[in-house]
Amino acid sequence: MQWQTLDSTPSLLPLYWRAALKRKITGSTLPERGLRCRMSVNPSAVAAYRKVCGFADSPMLPATYPHILAFGLQLQLLTDKTFPFPLLGLIHLRNRILIHRPLGGVGDVSVGVYAHNLSPHPKGATFDIVTVVEDALGLLWEAESQMLCRGVKLEGEAADSGLQTQGTLTELTRWKAPTDIGRRYARVSGDYNPIHLSAPTAKLFGFPQAIAHGLWNKARTLAALAEHLPAANIEIDVEFMKPVRLPSEVILMSSAAGSSGALELKGAGDIQHMLGKWQPIA
């Protein structure tokens, strides 16, 4: 794979225009290149993110924050003319992060993104967006976001890749996902996907109401679990099930804390919004 190094983080507005204009699937192979850029962590941006996602003040970056650093690079990768799938309409199925070392005192980092692992799926095809964050000592944090593009035809059988969780889960806490949380999260993350912003914009894409960002659900969950999770050498894997419609109340179920465990985010009538587990990095 070839890396293209950018001098600065991409400007989001032109990329959103590019995303809005591309509506067709144009191929069935992923580009063999990644994008990377050096960037610095802005304390006021981190503070705004903490507030929206429910993280307490801490010398450690929130476990999900590197996604925010990488968002512009991901958007540039996914809207490039060599990328075969339209960005609007992609569905985020799963997200796994690996924290190799504690995220304390993080200043200047190198962030890289690429796409790989194109695979058949009963509804189309999936691929992973991989994000890697390195500091002066090497690999600090990495993530895989599994995305679904409907309507892609690939040869081969779809693998059953559902997340298996074990153990008895009990209610840890519950919170309200307010009507405006999609807009508030968009302001701190840059992710202005119309399905998250309002009922009228969500209806354009077939949703009766706006839905919460999957990564807000994950961040809000990790904020609630913060004192139960190790600060490093941890892999946190979640599968997004049914979307959280806004507004609504959700219930976080969790197993006993420690180096490994399981979680479930539920809504009214036992609807499953998110399943997850954490464990030491293999």
**CATH code at position 187:** 3.10.129.10
How many separate domains does the chain show? 1
pLDDT at 32: 95
- Taking the C-alpha atoms of residue 210 and residue 208, their distance in angstroms, rounded to an integer, is 7
Q: What is the distance between the alpha carbons of residues 211 and 219, in angstroms, rounded to a whole number?
A: 15
Low-confidence ranges of the chain (pLDDT < 50): none
| pLDDT of res. 163 | 82
> pLDDT, tens digit, for every residue of 245-270?
999 999 999 996 678 999 999 999 99
Domain membership of residue 131 as a residue range? 2-279
pLDDT value of position 236:
97
- Cα(113)–Cα(131) distance, rounded to whole angstroms? 5
Q: What is the pLDDT of residue 105?
A: 85
Percent of the chain past pLDDT 70, that is, above it, reads 99
Interatomic CA distance for residues 99 and 237, integer angstroms? 12
- Strands, E assignment, the chain: 2-6, 33-40, 91-99, 108-121, 124-135, 138-150, 170-177, 234-240, 248-254, 261-266, 272-279
80 and 19 Cβ atoms separated by less than 8 Å? no
Beta strands in 20-90 (DSSP E): 33-40
